[in-house]
Structure 1
Amino acid sequence: MLGMKVLVIEDNRELASSIHDFLAAESYICELSHSFGEAYDKLLFFSYDCILLDIMLPDGNGLELLRLIKKEKIQSSILIISARDALDDKVNGLEGGADDYITKPFHLPELHARLRAIYRRKRLEGSHIISFKEITLDTDMLEARVNGVLLDTTKKEFDLLLYFLVNKNRVLSRQAIATHLWGDYTDNLANFDFVYQHVKNLRKKISMVNGTDYIETIYGLGYKFNSSRS
């Protein structure tokens, strides 16, 4: 959903693979870690919108990893998953800073609903509609409108516009944009020229319906959605 980037920390490889395939089909960028150590390394070097955190890991406890996430001030949302429907785990996880808790076995559509709810609460203030002046995005229908006119955006262009809107007035590097929309494999690329092309296409489509070009190029750094432009 929305180019949302998720790290699944789950040692059951079959379950992790099922979650990955389901979320990928829903247009999430989904990555897997099967152990405490592997997950911790990823969290130090990459950023995620949400972390699915299993409590029982082969080389550590998920609640301890949750404490480290908070200690390092990692801003990702956290959904705890566990086979044990134990009240102590739930209480400790939520008091430790997790956003929600789901018990195995669970249906994947339920997991999807929980992720959408967390995203809305934390990033979209509870709504599936996000608006700024003449721009309106419907994150359920994946529709972008400018001055009431439906834009003919690709999925990546929609995600890019949403990423700009929820990060208004922040400078976003081309690498940050690439990683958010395409995943960590972009770290191995020599350049990020494809980001420029997507930004260019989005700007063109907005201007075609007489929308303001809020996307400002910050030379040598990246881009900024400048809300003060008119």
Structure 2
Amino acid sequence: MKILLVEDHAELAKSIASYLVQEHYICEVAGTFDEAREKLALFSYDVVLLDIMLPDGNGINLLKLLRKEGVESSVIIISAQNALDFKLTGLSEGADDYITKPFPLPELHARIKAIMRRRSVHKSHVITFKDITADLESMECRVQGKLLNLTRKETNLLLYFINNKGRMLTRQAIAAHLWGDYTDNLDSVDFVYQHVKNLRKKITDAGGKDYISTVYGFGYKLHAPE
């Protein structure tokens, strides 16, 4: 699961992000309104943790933009504003939850899981591509019914490919999706090659076709071979 944390307080953002990574989420951080808007335009997130008071804008206005543009990410407002009016405004503008600072990190985690459970009621737990199935609840992936022994990164990579089937995904986009902001400081994303290679081998070893093709010089694409 990929989370965007919009929080301008650096120490708090670091604390929340570190906790979520320990809980096996991919967490990216935006410290300003503009940075958050840019990330949301470029990438998809399951959950957005949104502070209201940002140095260059208001989180409620960002929330309005997201809903106007049809962004389907769940939004939890995290704010020091405890007044009822703030809570009602945030929820009426499309937030899924509102938690007041300071809060225990396990409570935030519980709220994230509760939101994802509610979302799953309206969405299928299983996504498919040809003879590949992926259960979003158990995070088990199968080829022709045979369970794939994937690492967490390989599972997230396969889900990313399925959700973007037919699209060319650059190595940089794959690295950013799987490792978040940590890739900004890397000189190379060549390590993506090994993860894709391992995933392809596990699929074919299980009897599946090699649906992932290399777009030389750019990245990879998931599609059905002709």
Calculate the TM-score normalised by the size of structure 2.
0.77
Tell whether the 8 Å contact from 1:131 to 1:137 is kept in structure 2 after alignment: yes
Residue deviations 1:111-162 (CA, integer Å, cap 9, x gap): 3354356567779962433333322223333322212222121111111001
Tell whether the 8 Å contact from 1:120 to 1:126 is kept in structure 2 after alignment: no
Q: Provide closer, same or farther for how the CA distance between residues 219 and 11 of structure 1 changes in structure 2, counting only shifts above 3 A.
A: closer
Partner of 1:56: 53
Q: Alignment partner for residue 216 of structure 2, among 196, 219, 229?
A: 219
Tell whether the 8 Å contact from 1:178 to 1:195 is kept in structure 2 after alignment: yes
- SS state at 2:217 partner: coil
- Counterparts of residues 73-152 of structure 1 (less than 5 Å): 76-84=73-81, 86=83, 88-98=85-95, 100-104=96-100, 106=103, 108-116=105-113, 126-152=123-149
Partner of 1:175: 172
- SS state at 2:208 partner: coil
CA distance in structure 2 between the partners assigned to 1:188 and 1:12 by the alignment: 21
CA distance in structure 2 between the partners assigned to 1:71 and 1:140 by the alignment: 29
Task: State how many pairs are aligned.
Answer: 222
Q: Provide closer, same or farther for how the CA distance between residues 204 and 125 of structure 1 changes in structure 2, counting only shifts above 3 A.
A: farther
CA distance in structure 1 between the partners assigned to 2:222 and 2:122 by the alignment: 19
Task: Report whether the alignment pairs 1:41 with 2:35.
Answer: yes
Q: Alignment partner for residue 10 of structure 1, among 7, 29, 33?
A: 7
How far off is 1:47 after superposition?
3.1
CA distance in structure 2 between the partners assigned to 1:141 and 1:74 by the alignment: 25
How far off is 1:164 after superposition?
0.8
- SS state at 2:24 partner: coil
Gapped regions of structure 2 (runs ≥ 5) = none
Q: Alignment partner for residue 27 of structure 1, among 14, 24, 38?
A: 24
Task: Report whether the alignment pairs 1:210 with 2:191.
Answer: no
Residue deviations 1:25-79 (CA, integer Å, cap 9, x gap): 1222223345xxx342354256351321122346643213334556788775432
- SS state at 2:225 partner: coil
CA distance in structure 2 between the partners assigned to 1:229 and 1:41 by the alignment: 39
Q: Alignment partner for residue 159 of structure 1, among 156, 161, 174?
A: 156
CA distance in structure 2 between the partners assigned to 1:121 and 1:178 by the alignment: 29
- SS state at 2:207 partner: coil
Residue deviations 1:163-197 (CA, integer Å, cap 9, x gap): 11111222211111111011233244443321122
Gapped regions of structure 1 (runs ≥ 5) = none
How far off is 1:205 after superposition?
0.5
CA distance in structure 2 between the partners assigned to 1:127 and 1:86 by the alignment: 37
CA distance in structure 2 between the partners assigned to 1:103 and 1:163 by the alignment: 30
- SS state at 2:160 partner: helix
CA distance in structure 2 between the partners assigned to 1:124 and 1:175 by the alignment: 33
Quick one: which amino acid aligns to residue 44 of structure 1?
A: E
